[in-house]
Structure 1
Amino acid sequence: MTTTDPRPGSTGGADEPGQLHGGPDDDYSPEQLAAMDRTELDRLGARLDGVEILHVEPVAPIGSALDKKNTRLVTLWFALAGLLSLAFVVVFLGSGWFLPSWEWRIESGTWQSLYTPLLGATMGGALIAVGVALVLYVKKLLPHETAVQDKHDGSHFDRVTTGATLMGGLDNSGLPRRKLLVGVLGVMSLAFGAMLVSLLGGFIKNPNKGNPLGTTPWAEGVRLLRDDGTPIRPGDQQPGSLATVFPAVEGGDRAYDAAVMLIRLRPEQIESLVPAAGREDFGVGDYVAYSKVCTHAGCPVSLYEQETSRILCPCHQSQFDVTQGARPVFGPATRSLPQLPISVDEEGYFVARGDFPEPIGPSFWNIGRLN
């Protein structure tokens, strides 16, 4: 006589070979599995999937004083992450609009800004706070157990029992009963998401207008200023020297593509000077001006060897011959440094005759040829 026993862990009526014989999916029909509650499915899956509990470390009972203390600690870190995320959004979108720009000029004439450090501090703090909160949640609120399990075969039985196990784990974590933590976690998630999405606001806040990669603040009649804001005229430099100058326009000394090297050549350099074609009148007497942005990777070209007439990039060792139109003679750069056309105004100060005739630095990799 064949007996059937539909209880969890039994053969489910599969004492003899047949339609319900040959494994969990054969032992239990979808209807039988659907009729079981989550606890039965969890136990059944653990038994038949070969789960062996090696160690169980107890945690504080839900509602106890220790559990409440741990919950408040985790909630605090999630709340901190939310506040820092909101602070990032405010700083990122509000700077220069309803918040100050946090910029000031120091004695050397350069500008200092708190904008970027504030963005880094708020986003970095939010990420750290989320990480700390997750670690504390796992260590102090989740049940700890060490178990081993046989490899799953991906059957319908495995899918059903695994889902029950996951939901059982959620219940065991006590998260559904920690209303304050769930609320703070939801608000933090919204703030954290807003922080990430706000980065797209940069396209609205700082839209590319005109031709930003092909133009600079230099224009006809714009004076050349030293880093201390004073204009410069012929005779202010010694032969063989280099001075870094900026355009006399608002924000000109902060534009990444506006820095220019004003070089006064020595007499022997003038004798060997071979200007680039079409740029014979770009200089003034023994003065020439070239962009300070390397055409290889955009690094600042700041070294000048007057004995060899070479301008050097300290980052990747590109070298440019100032007597040959700043043509690259060594290193990875393949394009000459753009030359700024200059002249002298009525008061005797250096001014630009216009913008650079070509884009600055590596903005366009396919323009220009080795001169």
Structure 2
Amino acid sequence: MSTTHSGPGAAGGDDTSGPVHGGPDDDYSPERLATMDRTELDRLGARYDGVEVLHVDPAPEPGSPLEKRATRQVTMWFALAAVAALAFLVIYAGSGWFLPDWEWQVGGSDWSALFTPLLGVTMGISLTAIGIGLVLYVKKLLPHETAVQDKHDGSHFDRVTTGATLLGGLDKSGLPRRKLLLTTIGLMGAGAGAMILAPLGGLIRNPNTGNPLGTTPWADGVRLLRDDGTPVRPSDQQPGSLETVFPAVPGGNFHADASASVMLIRLRPDQIEELEAPEGRADYGYGDYVAYSKICTHAGCPVSLYEQETGRILCPCHQSQFLVTEGARPVFGPATRALPQLPIAVDDEGYFVARADFPEPVGPSFWNLGRL
């Protein structure tokens, strides 16, 4: 809004007949404008913000059945969002973030596979309910105006009146008098915020303590089990054969950790004569058996092919080859590090067991390991 002044004072003492344009920014300091309330700002001009209202659909009358029904609907959806967010946090607690790990056993069945889907479902319900609640709130509880607005000139007066308009919009929204809805929105916001931030808790509470990249479940006395859970005796394999084995866990099952998968290879008599164990690993095998990690040291792919005639272990992903008679050192392909070897022995019952964990990290080469 610009006001029109005329007279000598408006032109620095010159008597002019033409109008001189001024405005609130000319008549009042920014500090004075900042202290004015909405009524005082309105008094400075009917079109102080350049808005012309063309049409208004008023909000429901406060206390009317229509207004109460709409408020209940919005409150219900926001409450559902808060409950779903709380359910997400309770389920996520089962990951051990701030509570001990849950045993996801229901009726004797393992429900661990539902952990991630349940997180997705509860988060989806919460976010969907928030969206529906916001749509209903805007459509049913707010007045709808059709208005046009002139482009602002960026004056301080415009900035002050914009702030006043926002405060006036909060009052028109009816939130200050809808205490239950306001409380529900607060609970919903807190729950949704915690739901979104909860997964970041892993950055604060890192369960991978110690040296997780350099250790596996293998340890002294841990049995070597097939994928059906049966242990292995030295007499079970034919010379030149390979068996994939895993570390046993209490209860007779095996640990399904991919990093712990091992190739148990029985060498042929001619390969035993060619065997050249790396320094310090002459006793890592047992008889004509050797055990190497099944994880390729190039990109972490599973090494699953064995040519008994050439004594080469092959990775089908990028064609790396490792010579079993020379400590599984790479002889072809992009891999630059030998497959880690697992030291093995036989227990009192005649089954293969590990004597220790791998002496080095399994999988893709670490930056500080270099070429071994």
Q: TM-score, normalised by structure 1?
A: 0.75
Report the equivalent of 1:330: 333
* Deviations, residues 272-318 of structure 1 (Å, cap 9, x unaligned): 76554443443334433233444455x5515325377344265xx46
- CA distance in 1 between counterparts of 2:85 and 2:261 reads 36
Which residue of the other structure, out of 285, 310, 315, is the alignment partner of 1:283? Answer: 285
Report the equivalent of 1:177: 177
Q: Which runs of 5+ in 2 are unaligned?
A: 13-19
Which residue of the other structure, out of 237, 245, 257, is the alignment partner of 2:259? Answer: 257
Report the equivalent of 2:25: 25
- CA distance in 1 between counterparts of 2:248 and 2:198 reads 33
How far the C-alpha of 1:159 sits from its partner, in A, is 2.0
**Sequence identity percentage:** 59
SS of 1:169's equivalent? helix
Structure 1 residue 312 and structure 2 residue 312: aligned? no
- CA distance in 2 between counterparts of 1:232 and 1:189 reads 57
How far the C-alpha of 1:247 sits from its partner, in A, is 3.4
Report the equivalent of 1:247: 248
Counterparts of residues 4-43 of structure 1 (less than 5 Å): 11=3, 16-17=10-11, 22-30=22-30, 33=33, 36-38=36-38, 41=41
Report the equivalent of 2:224: 224
- CA distance in 2 between counterparts of 1:344 and 1:172 reads 81
Is the 1:176–1:182 Cα contact (8 Å) retained in structure 2? yes
- CA distance in 2 between counterparts of 1:111 and 1:245 reads 23
Report the equivalent of 2:354: 352
Report the equivalent of 2:191: 191
Is the 1:56–1:146 Cα contact (8 Å) retained in structure 2? yes
- Call closer, same or farther: CA 1:106–1:34 in 2, change over 3 Å: closer
How far the C-alpha of 1:10 sits from its partner, in A, is 6.5
Report the equivalent of 1:136: 136
Q: TM-score, normalised by structure 2?
A: 0.75
- CA distance in 2 between counterparts of 1:261 and 1:104 reads 35
Task: Give the paired residue count.
Answer: 355
Counterparts of residues 52-91 of structure 1 (less than 5 Å): 52-53=52-53, 59-91=59-91
- CA distance in 1 between counterparts of 2:330 and 2:196 reads 44
- CA distance in 2 between counterparts of 1:105 and 1:231 reads 29
* Deviations, residues 72-103 of structure 1 (Å, cap 9, x unaligned): 22222221221122223323335676884215
- CA distance in 2 between counterparts of 1:326 and 1:76 reads 65
Is the 1:328–1:336 Cα contact (8 Å) retained in structure 2? no
- Call closer, same or farther: CA 1:242–1:353 in 2, change over 3 Å: same
Counterparts of residues 358-369 of structure 1 (less than 5 Å): 358-362=360-364, 365-369=366-370
SS of 1:75's equivalent? helix
Amino acid aligned to 1:287:
Y
- Call closer, same or farther: CA 1:44–1:300 in 2, change over 3 Å: farther
Q: Which runs of 5+ in 1 are unaligned?
A: 1-8
- Call closer, same or farther: CA 1:173–1:103 in 2, change over 3 Å: same
Is the 1:289–1:339 Cα contact (8 Å) retained in structure 2? yes
Is the 2:50–2:152 Cα contact (8 Å) retained in structure 1? no
Amino acid aligned to 1:327:
P
